[in-house]
Structure 1
Amino acid sequence: METRFVARAAGAAVLSLAISSCTTTPAEFNAKPSAVSKAALCKTALETTDPAFQFQLVSEVNRRGMNMLECQQMVAQQKQAAAALVALALVGTAAAVCANGNCGGGGYTPYRRYPGNCYSYYDRAADGSLCGNRSAMSRPGGW
């Protein structure tokens, strides 16, 4: 169970990094500008601190018929999608842990060990009636 939790957390982290690191370098861009994806082009144009490289990227964005506002929206959507994937992975991990009986709650719960329907006075028997004095807690010595 612990291994599955670590594996899912690692998978979520790798997926998040893969989506968030979708950028290009000046060497890759200069080699073949048309080979750079729109997402990488936009993300790099918004995040670079090199003004000359940024100018080249913005020119390529415009050449492709887009503008920087569209780029900002695209990058924001990608970040939201990455956050949603990470959240989904974490919820899935929590559900898997819970399904294995490790949901917390603490304390001693004899219901888990009791094999029948009538552990306590207020439980229902198989026929739907209240267990009452037939319950294990009502009998001397329990069950």
Structure 2
Amino acid sequence: MNIITSARLVVAASLSLALAGCSTTSQEAFRQNPKGVPKVDICRTLLQTQDPNFAREMVAELTRRNVNPYECPSMVQKQDQAGAALAVIAVGGAAVAYCANHNCGGGYGGPPYPGNCYSYYDRAADGTLCGNRAAMIRPGGY
């Protein structure tokens, strides 16, 4: 599996996890335990429902919780932004972990070398400059 395929899989998995937290509520679940449904989920469902009776029930629950239904678009947007930020962090972390295990670092050319530090200006897998650790500076080249 190459790095691009791996990165695509990581992005897909991260977005799936981030969006899994952004859910709507079914009428049955809401009616069974309205107090157990997070207010942002009520807001998301309120913004998406086509059922006016269900919408009235959700507005009543939000009002009971001292939440103005007009705040719902902002609440949902903030949750979406937080989910997107988590996805970015997860993708970045996964890329760092992948590169730490697969020597993704490297420099600006030079002869083929099995590691990351051929030249002093290359970067090691941890992101630091190779400097005096570089193969071209060390006796024997390795």
Same fold, TM exceeding 0.5?
yes
The range that moved more, 72-81 or 3-12, is: 3-12
- What does residue 49 of structure 2 align with? 48
TM-score by length of 1: 0.63
Per-residue CA distance 1:28-51 (angstroms, 9 max, x = gap): 112232222212111111111222
Between the aligned partners of 2:132 and 2:108, the Cα distance in structure 1 is: 26
Number of residue-to-residue matches in the alignment: 124
Between the aligned partners of 1:41 and 1:95, the Cα distance in structure 2 is: 37
| 5+ residue gaps, structure 1 | 119-123, 137-141
Conservation of the 8 A alpha-carbon contact between 1:97 and 1:103: no
Call closer, same or farther: CA 1:125–1:67 in 2, change over 3 Å. Answer: closer
Between the aligned partners of 1:116 and 1:92, the Cα distance in structure 2 is: 25
- What does residue 17 of structure 2 align with? 15
Identity %: 38
1:101 to 88, 100, 103: 103
1:83 alignment partner AA = A
TM-score by length of 2: 0.64
- Aligned residues: CA RMSD: 3.9
Between the aligned partners of 1:13 and 1:97, the Cα distance in structure 2 is: 18
Between the aligned partners of 2:110 and 2:53, the Cα distance in structure 1 is: 67
| 5+ residue gaps, structure 2 | 121-130
- Greater C-alpha radius of gyration: 1
Conservation of the 8 A alpha-carbon contact between 2:22 and 2:41: no
- Larger RCO (alpha carbons 8 Å, 6+ apart): 1
Alignment of 1:4-83 (within 5 A): 8-9=10-11, 11-21=13-23, 23-83=24-84
1:63 alignment partner AA = R
Between the aligned partners of 2:78 and 2:132, the Cα distance in structure 1 is: 54
